[in-house]
Structure 1
Amino acid sequence: MIMIAAACGSGKPNQLGYQVVPFEAVNQSGDPMSLSHLKGKVWIADFIFTYCATVCPTMTANMSELQTRLKSAGVEAELVSFSVDPERDDPAALKQYLLKFDADFSNWHALTGYEFNEIKTFALDSFKTVVAEDTSSDQVIHGTSFFLIDPSGTVVAKYDGMTDTPYDQIIRDVKALQR
């Protein structure tokens, strides 16, 4: 866990500084979604897929817990889960999957509608995280981090999305970005 010192002035998280490249997708309702829809908002992103047999159920449960805690704290942030298996994850599959985790779709967007090579390149260019086909199974290899993006579209922090997810730190960091 990287701690941010307040001595830098604002106390806002800024350890990464990756710029999110523009993207076009559709959400779990089939509605268009792009980077411009998130401009001016603080958001948290992760990478999942509905057929995942390993890390995705835990990550999605943790994202659901984060959504609950953000709401309880009265903190607004968008949650964005990018599918790394867009060929199988159509909007209906994503919606059904997230409903198993009591997702509130008012601020949680599960995205698809692009090609596998597009999400692979997007994940690497925007989040410096790997998405790769697992040639020995039907699974997709991907990172397990939650990424915090500021209102300008810059990735400013990442957190463990699997074990010991630092909910309180994420909420503090979201609040700091909203000041």
Structure 2
Amino acid sequence: MKSKALIFFLCLVSAAVLSACGNVKFKADYNVEIQTFEHENQRGEQVSLDSLKGKPWIGMYIFTKCVSVCPPMTFNMTQVQEKLQKRGIEDYNIVAFSVDPETDTPDVLANYLAKYNVPDASKWNLLTGYSQTYIEQFAEKSTKILVRKNPDPNDDQVIHGNQFFLVDKDGKMVKMYNGYADNAEDVPIDMVVSDIESYIDENL
């Protein structure tokens, strides 16, 4: 009898632990309103803050001539999407703002994205069509991320943060993550996926 009672007790504990693990609550770290925008993506479509509302989206800053963090950031974002896809999660978008809009036309951005094994390109919006001054001010005001054109006229690189940022369905930035690290294991891909999944479960 004692043996059966012990087994029953252990089953109850295991069930409680599993239940707790399956109900991770989403907790926002930020509550920053994204500045209203409307820009052109790599498909020549107009994408605005309003058109993205209703679903969460994960954003970043990149540019196609980048020789440092942008390629690994873009690859890491494909890994986020791959894991979202495996979990059957569909209610999200990916937004990448070019920090070199003079160079990055829609066609250039489309060719850049085509170099990556993107699980679902329809959810990607690589945006351009604004001034350098605009994107520098937008990044600072909306996401608290630094974007600056290199002051050296002989250097075509743009200084920018390597973060991913999660925006909720109402257009507010609620989370931020490392989008790049020297050690790839320090990029919290699983955390990004888990946060998006938890947010969708609780809010959509």
Compute the TM-score of the two structures, normalised by the length of structure 1.
0.91
Query: Is the 1:80–1:110 Cα contact (8 Å) retained in structure 2?
Result: yes
User: 1:176 corresponds to which letter in structure 2?
Assistant: S
Query: Is the 2:80–2:190 Cα contact (8 Å) retained in structure 1?
Result: no
User: 1:86 corresponds to which letter in structure 2?
Assistant: P
User: 1:38 corresponds to which letter in structure 2?
Assistant: L
Aligned counterparts, 1:50-89, within 5 A: 50-76=64-90, 77-89=92-104
Residue 168 of structure 2 corresponds to 150
Cα offset for 1:44?
0.2
Residue 110 of structure 1 corresponds to 126
User: 1:17 corresponds to which letter in structure 2?
Assistant: N
2:60 equivalent to 1:46: yes
Root mean square deviation, CA, Å:
1.4
Consecutive unaligned residues in structure 1, runs of 5 or more: 1-5
Query: Is the 1:24–1:32 Cα contact (8 Å) retained in structure 2?
Result: yes
Residue 9 of structure 2 corresponds to none
Compute the TM-score of the two structures, normalised by the length of structure 2.
0.80
Equivalences, count: 171
Which of residues 158, 165, 168 in structure 1 aligns to 2:187?
A: 165
Consecutive unaligned residues in structure 2, runs of 5 or more: 1-19
Cα offset for 1:102?
2.0
Query: Is the 1:22–1:35 Cα contact (8 Å) retained in structure 2?
Result: yes
- Per-residue CA deviations over 1:14-52 (Å, capped at 9, x if unaligned) read 111111010110000111111011111111000000000
* 4+ aligned runs moved over 3 Å, structure 1: none
Aligned-pair identity (%): 43
Query: Is the 1:24–1:114 Cα contact (8 Å) retained in structure 2?
Result: no
- Structure having the higher Rg: 2
Query: Is the 2:32–2:143 Cα contact (8 Å) retained in structure 1?
Result: yes
The 3-state SS of whatever aligns with 2:121 is: coil
The 3-state SS of whatever aligns with 1:155 is: strand
The 3-state SS of whatever aligns with 2:122 is: coil
- Per-residue CA deviations over 1:51-99 (Å, capped at 9, x if unaligned) read 0011101101111111111111111221111100000000000010011
The 3-state SS of whatever aligns with 1:89 is: coil
The 3-state SS of whatever aligns with 2:47 is: strand
* Distance across 2 between alignment mates of 1:41 and 1:64: 19
Query: Is the 1:17–1:156 Cα contact (8 Å) retained in structure 2?
Result: yes
Residue 3 of structure 1 corresponds to none
Residue 140 of structure 1 corresponds to 158
* Distance across 1 between alignment mates of 2:117 and 2:127: 17
* Distance across 2 between alignment mates of 1:99 and 1:66: 17
